[in-house]
Chain A
Amino acid sequence: MSLVDAISSAGMGMTAQSVRLNTVASNLANLDVVSSSPQNAYHGREPIFKSLLINSSDGAQGVKVDKIATDNAPPKKIYDPGNPNADKSGYVYGSNVDRVSALTNMLSASQSYQADVSVANTCKELLMDTIDTMKG
């Protein structure tokens, strides 16, 4: 039943893309968080996807979140001696999240999610049509 496999792989796609949207949401929410040391600064997160065989007989492949990687870019160093979190030399460390890339990531995730939804819908419609054919 290939179309059923297509629906389940679209479902896995929606799950994976919503994890991606969640990480984008955390990245954007923590954009302006500052801390007193570079180690404690917020580091962006990004899920790494991996394809997963659903059915070996028809080669259907779904997707899963393999791991959530941390962005190792150096955090922003901001001179702000008035900040209670500032270190001895008056610096605070902001997150290393790039606002523009986080927003484009969000757009890409939402488009992929929409594609998965329409794949699932279309496959359902095709299955229903096939069942109707059997009714005669």
Chain B
Amino acid sequence: MLSLDSMLGIYQRALAIREEKIDLISSNLVNQDTPEYKARDVDFKAVMAQQADFSNTLSLKPNNTVTISANQNNSDFPIQYRQAVSPSVDGNTVDSNFEKTAFMNNVVQYKSTLAFVRNHEAALLTAIRGE
């Protein structure tokens, strides 16, 4: 029996990571004039790969016993510092153009994940109704 938590599949996790990334990039943009501030981000691919057990729930085996713990600590993302391309004299490593494009990129990815969630939900409802 698939648990209710796994119904949204991988998208739930993907949205959480995207949200975290948007949050960190916003912090970077806000702190572009703060002395000694170091730009931060999380590696989407690495965090996704860490959830290897999570991807098992995607297989629809009838006796699938793998469950996602709902109380999984989402805050526990491995936050990393960005490699400074051109650090300024005051020790700030935010490259505003890079952060702006990264922000834009993540917004698009977030929106597309949301679109996947909508499609997925519609498919689930179709299955439930037996249409």
Contact = CB atoms under 8 A, between A and B. Distances in A.
Contacts of A62: 27, 30
B6 interface: no
Q: Name the prevailing secondary structure of the A interface residues.
A: helix
A39 B123 CA distance: 75
Contact of A133 (B26, B77, B107, B117): B117
B56 interface: no
A2 B22 contact: yes
Given A60-B27, A136-B121, A112 B22 contact: no
A122 interface: yes
A99 interface: no
Contact of A51 (B19, B34, B96, B118): B34
Interface size class of A (residues with CB under 8 A): 35 or more
Contacts of B33: 16-17, 20, 49, 63, 108-109, 112
Contacts of B43: none
Nearest to B26: A6
Contacts of B118: 133
Given A3-B22, A57-B75, A58-B23, A119 B30 contact: yes
A122 B88 CA distance: 28
